[in-house]
Structure 1
Amino acid sequence: MPDLRDVPEQWPVAESHLEYDGGGWVVRLRNDRIRRPGHPEDEPFSRLVLEHPGAAIVLAMDDQDRVLCLWQYRHAVRHTLVQLPAGLLDVDGEDPIDVARRELVEEAGLEARSWTHLISAYSSPGITSEMSHFYLATDLTEVGRGDFELEHEEAEMVLDWVPFADLHDAVVAGRLADAHLALAVLVAGSRLAPVPRGSGTDHQKEQDS
């Protein structure tokens, strides 16, 4: 069995051209024609690559083991999803933890004294270079958003606190489909095991049944 680890590697690229430059936004779509290593006689094959700067995702938990969640409309999937505060690494050289801090203030009006890196993971490596960095934020303080104003989909989003146990149960039951939320909750759950049970509704129903 190969080593159980990811290995940096670069297959030969015969040619590459830009399909879409992002139109002033932060992503670009590139078409690479690549070959298998050691097979120069093979015809190159195409792979589309969505260049993405990456993102930071924040699982903010208060002293009652509740997580701040956002109900936000996502047009690509035609759903309002339960998500976590998150933001793009769209400033060159900016550290992901600084993006996480900024997004927690802008989207939730909160600061955290304690930050724990949970995991960094590729979101969908078959199509995009995006890597997301996940953080657990605790010891929270309300500071307000300052002069930051929500717009577009964010202007309609709803914020609320959800007991971690209920959130964990909803992810495991398949009721929540946002991958960033699911990964953050499951990794945090493994770090916090046993999962904080609190007084969440799902757990109460299990006790009552």
Structure 2
Amino acid sequence: MTIKDTPEEWEVRASETPFVGNKTSVRAEDVVMPGGSVARRDYQVHPGSVAVLALDDEDRVLVIRQYRHPVRHKLWEIPAGLLDVPGENPLHAAQRELYEEAHVKAEDWRVLTDVYTTPGGCDEAVRVFLARGLSEADGRRFEVEDEEADLELARVPVADLVRGVLAGELHNNCLVVGVLSLVAARNGAGLDALRPAEAPWPARPFEV
């Protein structure tokens, strides 16, 4: 048996969009089940996201602390953001987010992992990048607003983040997936064996 996710699409008898928000919407679809019955499935339609695990020369990860209203928490996270334009190159989006949220640039970019954050109720796909060779970005700092105006930045050793994840103290999915994927990659073929930064991403196709 090959353990690999595969694309598949079941018949949809009806589809409507009862809510359209600023960045996302909700879709309601009647889907034909294997036994022939029809079931309603509601899910959030999402443009997709990128996240950046930025690793410095002292084996520290650049993290930010940000208020997240739906969960009523300030979470430690890695820089991340939406794919604002359909078909946008995710590497370019990741470089933009690292600049805007941390005023940092990176020389070496790799794909760390690709995930669906909540496939039972949302079609969001996230590409998590590994960025190395960090330095301060050129030019003026990006002017932030709303929740981002309250951001805190820190650089935390990888080992401390792993401990926090396993202790149930850190909960942001991109941080958890990114940090544990980093450790797994190191223990496997190594970081230089990761996919190139512009590797294909079927979940959100883009032009190089």
Same fold (TM over 0.5): yes
Letter in structure 1 aligned against 2:28: N
The match for 1:86 among 58, 80, 88 is 80
Q: Which amino acid in structure 2 is aligned with residue 77 of structure 1? A: V
Q: Which 4+ residue blocks in structure 1 deviate beyond 2 angstroms?
A: 144-148
Match of 2:158 in 1: 164
Q: 2:51·2:79 contact (CA, 8 Å) conserved in 1?
A: yes
Residue 133 of structure 2: SS of its match in structure 1? strand
2:122 to 125, 128, 132: 128
Shift of 1:3: 3.5
Seen in structure 2, the aligned counterparts of structure 1 residues 38 and 3 have a Cα distance that, compared at 3 Å, is farther
Q: Distance in 2 between matches of 1:176 and 1:147?
A: 28
Aligned counterparts of 1:62 and 1:192: Cα–Cα separation in 2: 15
* Equivalent residue letter for 1:102: R
> How many residue pairs were aligned?
188
Q: Which has the larger radius of gyration?
A: 1
Q: Is the 8 A contact 2:103 2:142 kept in 1?
A: no
The match for 2:2 is: 3
C-alpha separation in 2, matches of 1:129 and 1:191: 26
* 1:79 shift after superposition: 0.3
One-letter code of the match for 1:152? D
AA aligned to 2:176 is: A
Identity of aligned residues (%): 41
Report the counterpart of residue 103 of structure 2 in structure 1: 109
Contact kept, 8 Å, 1:106 with 1:145, in 2: the verdict is no
Task: String of CA shifts for 1:158-201, please: whole Å, max 9, x gaps.
Answer: 0011111111111122111111110000000111239xxxxxxx
Alignment equivalent of 1:95, drawn from 80, 85, 89: 89
Q: Which runs of 5+ in 2 are unaligned?
A: 189-208
Give the superposed CA RMSD: 1.5
Quote the Cα distance in structure 2 between the aligned partners of 1:78 and 1:145: 34
2:157 is aligned with 1:153: no
Alignment partner of 1:32 is 2:26:
no
Once the two structures are TM-superposed, the CA of residue 77 in structure 1 deviates from its matched residue by: 0.1
TM-score of the two chains, using structure 2 as the length reference:
0.86
Q: Residues 30-71 of structure 1: CA distance to partner in whole angstroms, max 9, x if unpaired? A: 0001111462xx2x2111121101110001111001111111
State how far apart, in whole Å, the 1-side matches of 2:84 and 2:31 are: 28
- For 2:103 and 2:138, the matched residues in 1 are separated by 4
Amino acid at match of 1:169: R
Aligned-pair distance for 1:144?
Answer: 5.3
| Aligned equivalent of 1:15 | 14
